[in-house]
């Protein structure tokens, strides 16, 4: 009986870890969308006043977009790794 209880606790802890990592990944992607929206609004707002600022903001947006894929890949691999530990 004691072993069954320990195994159940380990399984529950691992499942909780996977859930937490999925929530973290989802939160990261939500933040990513917010950052991109804010950048587009800033580009639109500054484009008529300062083309240099608009270009700089566009470059920042490009960097964020390019790196978002890397962040997502790392997050997905982390979730997959935790999921494998559960099974």
User: Above 70 in pLDDT, residue 62?
Assistant: yes
**pLDDT band for position 68 (50/70/90)?**
confident
Does the predicted model carry a pTM greater than 0.75? no
pLDDT at 24 over 60: yes
Mean per-residue pLDDT, 40-45 = 86
- Dihedral sign from CA coordinates of 13, 15, 21, 27: negative
Task: Write out the residue range of the structural domain in which residue 40 sits.
Answer: 2-86
Gap between the Cα atoms of 15 and 8, Å rounded: 10
pLDDT at 65: 82
Count of domains for the chain: 1
């Amino acid at each position: 009986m004691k072993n069954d209880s320990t195994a159940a606790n380990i399984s529950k802890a691992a499942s909780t870890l996977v859930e937490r990592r999925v929530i973290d990944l989802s939160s990261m992607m939500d933040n990513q969308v917010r950052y991109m929206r804010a950048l587009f609004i800033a580009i639109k707002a500054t484009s008529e006043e300062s083309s240099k600022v608009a270009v700089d903001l566009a470059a920042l947006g490009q960097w964020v977009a390019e790196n978002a894929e890397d962040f997502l890949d790392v997050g997905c691999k982390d979730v997959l790794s935790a999921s494998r530990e559960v099974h």
